[in-house]
Amino acid sequence: MFENAADLPLPEIMRPARFQDVLGQDHIWGEGAPLRRLAEQDRLGSWIFWGPPGCGKTTLASVIGQASKRKLVVLSAVSAGVKDLREVIEASQDEVEAGCKAHLLFLDEIHRLSKNQQDVLLPALESGAIKFIGATTENPSFEVNAAVNSRSIIFRFHKIADDGLVAVLRRALENSGKSKLRADIAPEVLEAIARSSAGDARRALNILEALAAAAPVDVSPVDMTALRSMGDTFALLYDKKGDQHYDTISAFIKCIRASQPDAALHYLARMIDAGEDVLFIARRLVIAASEDVGNATPMGLVMAQSGFDAVHQVGMPEARIILGQVTTFLASSQKSNRSYVGINKALADVREFGALEIPMALRNAPTGLMKSMGYGKGYSYAHDDPAGAAAMEYLPEALRGRRYYVPGNNGHERVLADNLRG
């Protein structure tokens, strides 16, 4: 793809080539970890690397391939098809039959192949005619053929922690002979880049490369002040642990609460554009659906939870569509915080009074002894005796008369209020 090494993007230039140079994923790649041990012993099989973008899936596959002394064949499911897979498998089969090592096929974005297309891998995986690593950002349970999954070990990759990303950036700056970076970047800028990169080393290195190229020659080091002076591209690096993070999500939720869908979409767009974790946004929408929309529009919680599941399964960039739909639905819905207020009042009483005795009529009486002690005595089954059930006392004696949930007059909560009035 790149005829001149000088044209290689920084993430490719800095891609580790040795086991010990790989940063992150210690749970599977640290000293003595399972994947590391298998790779060191060249005990390759059929593996699926599942994790977010830029977390090291391709890097580890490359390192393992180089160390194994096998022929490494790299295909992307975006452009490869069944014909390409068959050619690779047949070539590897010929090598095995000649007494040589099977080839290692790294298939990036395996989820892009249809499940029928994935079937072509099965005989080779079963026979060992090829060693295989498939990489995916999607949950293999949904996106990878069940038969392929059953023949593979799935290794879960995590986002790279901020301190790991800072280490990656420092390595690029310190190894200027390889990276060709000539800028002096202040530590706080590296930390800001790491925080804005959402655990994605590729993204962090791309930002660093662009920043180093754009930095004024008379500014050294490039600090946060210099960064802000260089325009919106770098000045708006989103700090996921700082004021901007909390201020933006706060503004977003308050706009939903105030039924302002346009303003809510604005702050949603700012978070998405800045690289905020879309699952973090989706979680906050689930909370808002219950806390601020509540029983006035019960469908809000269903929408928000469905949205969370869809965002988790689909990922970016399409997740923005789902987040936009849930945001506008919640912001445009009738609202009530009565259940939120109610549970907080109930918790306050529990913390003040402790675990008061449960009325005897409500207690479970599975044995004759318990019945003889009065457990369950006086209980009226509400379906058969609604009047008797209504006359019972349900709260502990010290709390009788307490009302925690008082439905409002908005939307469906009006129906609930009528139900409770009988």
List the CATH number of the domain containing 248.
1.20.272.10
> Do 92 and 136 sit in the same domain of this protein?
yes
Whether 149 and 187 share a structural domain: no
Per this entry, what is the length of the chain? 422
pLDDT in tens, 370-406: 888 888 888 888 898 888 888 888 999 999 999 999 9
- Res 329: pLDDT: 98
Indicate whether 77 belongs to any domain.
yes
- For residue 3, pLDDT beyond 50: no
1 in a structural domain: no
Cβ atoms of residues 299 and 325 within 8 Å:
no
252 and 316 inside one domain:
yes
Q: How far apart are CA 207 and CA 196, in angstroms?
A: 10
Boundary-marking domain end, from 156, 176, 193: 156
List, in sequence order, the alpha helices (H) in 200-337: 201-214, 224-228, 232-235, 243-257, 261-273, 278-288, 299-314, 319-332
Residue 83 within any structural domain of the chain? yes
pLDDT of residue 211: 84
Regarding whether 128 and 31 lie in a shared domain, the answer is yes
- Looking up residue 90, the CATH number of its domain turns out to be 3.40.50.300
- The predicted pLDDT at position 421 comes to 84
Q: Tell me, what's the pLDDT at 61?
A: 93
- pLDDT-derived band of residue 2, with 50, 70 and 90 as boundaries? very low
The full DSSP string for 120-176 is GGHHHHHHTSSEEEEEESS-HHHHS-HHHHHTSEEEE--PPPHHHHHHHHHHHHHTH
Q: Are residues 39 and 135 in the same domain?
A: yes
Q: How confident is the model at residue 237 (pLDDT cuts 50, 70, 90)?
A: low
Share of the chain above pLDDT 90, in %: 53
**pLDDT of amino acid 245:** 74
Do 178 and 221 belong together in one domain?
yes
Tell me the mean pLDDT in the region 416-422. Answer: 86
Are 230 and 284 members of one domain? no
Same domain, yes or no, for 247 and 230?
no
pLDDT-derived band at 240 (thresholds 50, 70, 90) equals: low
The total of other beta-carbon atoms located within 10 Å of residue 420's CB is 10
- Model confidence over 86-138: pLDDT tens digits? 999 999 999 999 999 999 999 999 998 888 889 999 999 999 999 999 999 88
| DSSP 8-state class, residue 20 | G
- Burial level of 46, CB count in 10 A (0-12/13-18/19+)? buried
269: Cβ contacts below 8 Å, ≥ 6 apart: none
Counted domains in the chain = 4
pLDDT value at residue 235: 47
Q: Specify burial of residue 53 (Cβ count, 10 A radius: 0-12, 13-18, 19+).
A: middle
Q: Is residue 57 part of a domain?
A: yes
pLDDT of amino acid 43: 92
pLDDT band at residue 223 under the 50/70/90 scheme: confident
Average pLDDT over every residue of 41-69: 92
Strand ranges of the sheet holding 104-108, from the earlier edge strand across to the other edge = 72-76, 104-108, 131-136, 46-50, 153-156
Which of the listed residues 332, 367, 396 is the one where a domain comes to its end? Answer: 332
Which residue from 1, 6, 3 is spatially nearest to 209, judged by alpha carbons?
A: 6
Question: Do residues 29 and 151 both lie within one domain?
Answer: yes
Query: Do 127 and 181 share a domain, yes or no?
Result: no
Q: Is residue 338 part of a domain?
A: no
Residue 325 sits in the same domain as residue 397? no
Pick the residue with more confidence: 191 or 334?
A: 334
Query: Which CATH number fits the domain that encloses residue 392?
Result: 1.10.3710
Do residue 292 and residue 307 come from a single domain?
yes
Which of 47, 21, 50 lies closest to 34, judged by CA? 47
Residue 9 located in a structural domain: no
What range defines the domain where residue 171 resides?
162-235
Q: Are strands 72-76 and 153-156 parallel, antiparallel or unpaired?
A: unpaired
In single-letter form, the type of residue at position 250 comes to S
pLDDT given at position 273: 81
- Contact present, 96 and 126 (Cβ < 8 Å): no
Q: pLDDT per residue over 276-317, tens digit each?
A: 889 999 999 999 999 999 999 999 999 999 999 999 988 888
| Under 8 Å between Cβ of 152 and 191 | no
**Which one of 173-177, 255-259, 389-393 scores highest in mean pLDDT?**
255-259
Domain presence at residue 19: no
Cα–Cα distance, 70 to 92 (Å, whole number): 10
Tell me what the mean pLDDT of segment 71-90 comes to. 92
Number of H helices, E strands in the chain: 24, 5
Q: Which of 156, 186, 210 is the last residue of a domain?
A: 156
Name residues whose C-beta falls within 8 Å of residue 328's C-beta, 6 or more positions apart in sequence.
261, 264, 265
> Tell me, what's the pLDDT at 241?
56
Q: CB count, 10 Å around CB of 90?
A: 12
Task: Give the model's confidence band at 222: pLDDT under 50 very low, under 70 low, under 90 confident, else very high.
Answer: confident
Residue reference for tokens 């006035």: 296
Residue 261 lies in a domain: yes
CA dihedral in degrees (313, 318, 322, 323; nearest 10)? 100
Q: Find the range with the poorest average confidence among 48-52, 167-171, 182-186, 279-283.
A: 182-186
Summary mean pLDDT of the chain: 88
The Cα–Cα gap between 57 and 157 comes to 8
